[in-house]
Structure 1
């Protein structure tokens, strides 16, 4: 869905940027404070087990350990991926390039290395006439479905001779789109002998079958491994402290008595809380009626679900391993604004019949809030989401390096080096055991000190909080916003200097009235304020704050909570 911002004339976008700056700071808390309504898709607990069992069982194979390559891996959210240029990504230490074929109306993925002389295809261009990707070095072109070379300019007529077709083919990877995410299979079509893996193996998010919801999405490349990311995402007890002053609050901390509700298998595990602790305003309101569920659908999917008779709050995350010491996190937060639809015919207190249209049956207040929220550009939402990820980034990379034992291996060292006496760490321990039992020590095996030595620079704050390289450059919405800000800043500076110079000269010769002087001063003040706010946005799009909000001096403002 296009935002209203994209329809604003270019000449007016500067003032739109400044006018909505306040919303950028409060957009996420606004969304969280707007309680979701009853889900059209929310069956009782036993039905949910059956829904998830489909995706869980699909992960099980005849082997006793997981095949990290034989998986659908989430790469990017389609809505914020630029379709006009190649998109580089590293998957399981394999460089790949993704691009949109406007002729075939499909996403393609091939190895990011031209078979000619290994130049990165991601530095090339998409041929608009054929939808093929063109190598930047010598112009060889490749179609994306099978990776075949379609043109070699250095040959007669550019045609590829039959005897060279195999050698000139680049490895192609199965690609699809599901629930707004671009997915890539971890094995090439050539290794699969042309067979296409079933899309039924994709670990989908159950509530997203409802088209009438709003979903906050954000992705980020984090400077620590898949294992460290999953460990953090499965840990609910860190939120009040790590994310204090962003989405958490220290005063809401309480015991977190976790327990498993399923066995730990190749497919993952499921868990909940032993009892309901009123650790937030929502849980205090509903007391014993609150239900919590955590699902780890191996290897990429995880969600936390908090359910009451009125609302369901989902936190959905995927983790895709890029290379040792780096992975990509894709986070989703589906929710709804409340509406006056009655609870008649609901299952377990949840409405199971969606309205006939997205707006029918809703109050004007609900419609207005929905319209305002949808008008906020994606980049503004991402500013707040990145603040949350900054909270973790600043220490998880350091923690991962310290996990290595003196012998230089991370395999099973967590058992020796972690001290976890409470039930709050149950999911973390079970995930680590899953890695040891079914995960072959991780997607790259047991990490060694030598393998991570070259990544030690990533423990520097400037690297850990580098929003530009970790997010902005591969997010089309944030990239456009940054380019717009950088276009307008020198224009504002020039306009301010021009008005200031002309105003001074007019004042020197006394050709202006007192009212004109006020206008000149007001214009200069407005331009200075605009320049300052644009500089702030530019900074937020490129680097996170340090020290983090949890360590900043309390400002007296009311912090949001999870």
Structure 2
């Protein structure tokens, strides 16, 4: 029987994949096209991720911050030698495989019930390159290609060709390492994805949401680092502090500080909480549960975690986790109710950000600091992110040669704002609620028709 073997596999927790266009599997006895899949030859050194180092770059005056060249003595950030988030576990159906795209890489995420862990493979069957995400999980828990029925176990072994006769992911988020170089075989023992304690703390209630947008990773993450836009872009939708407001919407001067700026990200004090950027995907903010009480030792806290996943130029996926201390309402309310509220907030600037990205791209990559005027301290973290991107990240997401970097055409506004395809179909709670309301609608129509 023919056997297909992954370059390597990772026991427990997280499965590895590769970012190139070469086939994900090494094939024994079965010839495959030499043009199948890609292999990136340049792989940067792996570093142990612990915490932000003590070496800092202080940007107390953001308008004086200069965006530096990506070629620096500090080294260059390797987008493909890093853990990449895909989806929250709560929105992944264990009964079927899921096709997702991250940085232009097509991957399939599926639940291996035999090993009780999530697996991530290149979304391509070695036989005829059909997408494995269109397949199914068979009765023995194997990933089955829908084209010819080839079946793969969690190690990547093809253990059935019909024609031939413990712990979950950290914080409930599936991550993968997109570089299949053998030197990264045991990377999980040396470097782990960012871990947020509040997301696993039983004293905190948690709400998690995922949604895809028609704007890119860079615009998404800088928008989430920007507290000054909240009273205006989300007017009437989010809690803001009233005392000392400068206008009707509630805008006030904000004090933002920056510390520990390096290749791993940065930390800083926001107004009114603590912020940390875990480069390149995660932005964490700890703020008071009640903004009017201010930030003091006795105030209850909430943790906001924004995981920003680049899909392709002009497309990104946002995973939001909100953990609240001692919030009983969150614990008893259906998850989809909070999604209705959160999506209303996300809708309110979705079109604006799409248009903003077009203007930034017109100005040119690397010219953000010349195109944008950022004179206030409230922009400190945004300027720091752009500086990190230029200094360490190459100025933009490394697409591995899969894209030119040009943005796709602007879709109709209705499609750009559509919640069903951007969220509901990928959310276990909202899709179930949607089906339930559809059934209720039919029942009521039938009842009143009698």
Please report the TM-score for the alignment, with normalisation by the length of structure 1: 0.61
- The Cα of 1:90 is off from its aligned counterpart by 0.5
- The Cα of 1:446 is off from its aligned counterpart by 12
Q: Does 1:296 align with 2:253?
A: no
CA distance in 1, matches of 2:97, 2:51: 31
After superposition, residues 230-379 of structure 1 pair within 5 angstroms as 230-248=221-239, 251-262=249-260, 264-272=261-269, 292-306=273-287, 307-311=295-299, 312-337=301-326, 370=328, 373-379=330-336
Q: Does 1:133 align with 2:143?
A: yes
Q: Determine helix, strand or coil for the equivalent of 2:348.
A: helix
Of 337, 341, 347 in structure 2, the residue corresponding to residue 390 of structure 1 is 347
- The Cα of 1:403 is off from its aligned counterpart by 0.8
Runs of 4 or more above 6 Å deviation: 445-450
CA contact (8 A) 1:324 1:447 kept: no
CA distance in 2, matches of 1:472, 1:116: 33
Q: Does 1:456 align with 2:430?
A: no
- The Cα of 1:416 is off from its aligned counterpart by 1.8
Q: Determine helix, strand or coil for the equivalent of 2:50.
A: helix
- The Cα of 1:234 is off from its aligned counterpart by 0.9
Pick closer, same or farther for the CA change 1:193–1:71 going to 2, 3 Å. closer
Pick closer, same or farther for the CA change 1:450–1:323 going to 2, 3 Å. closer
CA contact (8 A) 2:111 2:118 kept: yes
CA distance in 2, matches of 1:141, 1:206: 37
Q: Determine helix, strand or coil for the equivalent of 1:257.
A: coil
Instruction: Name the Cα RMSD after superposition.
Output: 2.7
Pick closer, same or farther for the CA change 1:451–1:67 going to 2, 3 Å. closer
CA distance in 1, matches of 2:87, 2:402: 29
CA distance in 2, matches of 1:240, 1:446: 38
- The Cα of 1:200 is off from its aligned counterpart by 4.7
Pick closer, same or farther for the CA change 1:325–1:140 going to 2, 3 Å. same
Q: Does 1:399 align with 2:410?
A: no
Q: 1:224 matched to which residue of 2? A: 215
Residue-by-residue CA offset, 1:333-382 (whole Å, 9 max, x unaligned): 111227xxxxxxxxxxxxxxxxxxxxxxxxxxxxxxx2x54332222221
Q: 2:50 matched to which residue of 1? A: 54
CA contact (8 A) 2:52 2:262 kept: no
Q: 1:494 matched to which residue of 2? A: 446
Q: 1:479 matched to which residue of 2? A: 431
- The Cα of 1:181 is off from its aligned counterpart by 1.6
Between the two structures, name the one with larger relative contact order (CA 8 Å, sep ≥ 6): 2
Q: 1:154 matched to which residue of 2? A: 163
Q: Does 1:212 align with 2:203?
A: yes
Pick closer, same or farther for the CA change 1:377–1:303 going to 2, 3 Å. same
CA distance in 1, matches of 2:297, 2:143: 52
Q: Determine helix, strand or coil for the equivalent of 1:439.
A: coil
- The Cα of 1:243 is off from its aligned counterpart by 0.9
Aligned length: 368
Of 172, 181, 187 in structure 1, the residue corresponding to residue 179 of structure 2 is 187
Q: 2:375 matched to which residue of 1? A: 421
CA distance in 2, matches of 1:258, 1:193: 38
Q: Determine helix, strand or coil for the equivalent of 1:258.
A: coil
Please report the TM-score for the alignment, with normalisation by the length of structure 2: 0.76
Pick closer, same or farther for the CA change 1:209–1:199 going to 2, 3 Å. farther
CA contact (8 A) 1:91 1:186 kept: no
Of 464, 470, 490 in structure 1, the residue corresponding to residue 422 of structure 2 is 470
Gaps of 5+ in 2: 1-48, 55-72, 241-247, 288-294
Q: Determine helix, strand or coil for the equivalent of 1:452.
A: coil
Of 149, 153, 157 in structure 2, the residue corresponding to residue 143 of structure 1 is 153
Structure (1/2) with the larger helix percentage = 1
Q: 1:529 matched to which residue of 2? A: none
Q: 2:18 matched to which residue of 1? A: none
CA contact (8 A) 1:268 1:297 kept: yes
Residue-by-residue CA offset, 1:297-327 (whole Å, 9 max, x unaligned): 2111212223322222322211121222112
Residue-by-residue CA offset, 1:96-116 (whole Å, 9 max, x unaligned): 111112222111111111111
